[in-house]
Amino acid sequence: MKYRHSFHAGNFADVHKHVTLLALIAALQRKEKGFLYLETHAGRGLYDLHSADTHQGAEARLGIGLLQAAGGSHPQISAFLEALARARTNCHEPDAYAGSPVLAALSLRAQDRGVCCEIQAAECRALERALNIYPRMRCECIDGYQGLAAQLPPPERRALVLIDPPYEEQSDDLARAGDAIGKVLARLANAVVALWYPIKDDRDLAPWLARMAEQLPAPALVAELWVHPRDARVGLNGSGLLIVNPPYQLDVEMQEWLPELGAALGATRQGGTTVRWIAHEQH
C-alpha cells in the first residue's frame, strides 16, 4: 500500500468526516455506559500543514482553512473547531491538523476507551507518539480488518467503529468495507458503524449503495457533502458517510448543521449536501 493521507489532511472531506465523528461520539455519550471506539485505518493522527508531506496544506486551505475563516454558529461545528484547537495546544503545533484518532481521544470519557489500527509501520509509530498523552486511546500496528475480529464484541457491549480505507482501488475497497460491516454486526448487532467513502462517480457509487441497502440487517443512513458536480472529472467531488445503527435523532441533527458546513466549504456553488435513510428508516 502506497497511500499516505498527509497530502489530503484537513481537506473538505476530512472536515466533513471529523465533524460527523464528533457528532456520533457526542450522541453515544448521552448514555452513561461506556463504549469502545474502534478505527480500522487510523493514519498518523497529527499532520503538519506546513510540511512537504501535505504540500504545505494545499488541500487544507479549501477545507479547514475555509471553515476556520467562516466559523460555525451551530454547536456541532463549533465543537469540532474547539476540539481541533485543543489538539493543537496539546501537541504544541498551532498549525497541525488532527486526524480522527486524536479527535476521538480528546472526546473519550473515563468509562470509554479506544483502539486505533494502522498497518503501515512508520504511520503507526507516528500515531503512537500522537496518542501518547491520551490514556484512553491506544494503537495497534495491524490490519484494521483483523482488528475488528480481535476487538469485537467488547466487554462494554457498545461500540463505535470508523472504517476509512484508502480507496486505492475504489470498487475493491468498497466491497471489502461492506463485508467488514456485516462482520461487525454479526459480532455486535447494536454497533454504530461509520464508513467513509469518496464521491467520484455516481455510476459506481449508486449501485453499491443499493446493494448495501439490500444487505444491511440494521437501520442505515448516508450523509453526503459534495463541492463539485457529482459526475465531474476533478478527482474527489464529494465526501460520504454510510452510518449503520445511527443514534436516535442523528439524522435530524445532521439536517441542521450539514448545510451550514457545506456552505462554509463551498458546496453551495456547484455542490450540495444530503442526509437520507437507505435501509430500515426509523420514525
Q: Is the pLDDT of residue 2 over 50?
A: no
Q: Is the pLDDT of residue 245 over 50?
A: yes
Q: Tell me the average pLDDT across 42-52.
A: 89
* pTM for this prediction: 0.95
244's CB contacts (< 8 A; 6+ apart) are 181, 185, 191, 192, 193, 194, 195, 216, 218, 219, 220
CA distances from 211 to 99, 116, 134, 204 (A): 30, 28, 39, 11
pLDDT-derived band of residue 226, with 50, 70 and 90 as boundaries?
A: very high
- 204 versus 49: which is more confidently predicted? 49
Return d(Cα 229, Cα 154) in angstroms, integer: 41
| Mean pLDDT over each residue of the chain, to the nearest integer | 93
pLDDT-derived band of residue 280, with 50, 70 and 90 as boundaries?
A: confident
Map out the domains of the chain with their CATH numbers: 6-279 (3.40.50.150)
- 234 versus 249: which is more confidently predicted? 249
Q: Is the pLDDT of residue 130 over 60?
A: yes
Q: Is the pLDDT of residue 238 over 90?
A: yes
201 is catalytic: no
Long-range Cβ contacts of 171-179 (<8 Å, 24+ apart): 171/204, 171/208, 174/208, 175/208, 176/145, 178/208, 178/211, 178/212, 178/215
Which residue out of 14, 48, 164, 173 is catalytically annotated?
164
Give the pLDDT of residue 58.
80
Cell of 96: 497541525
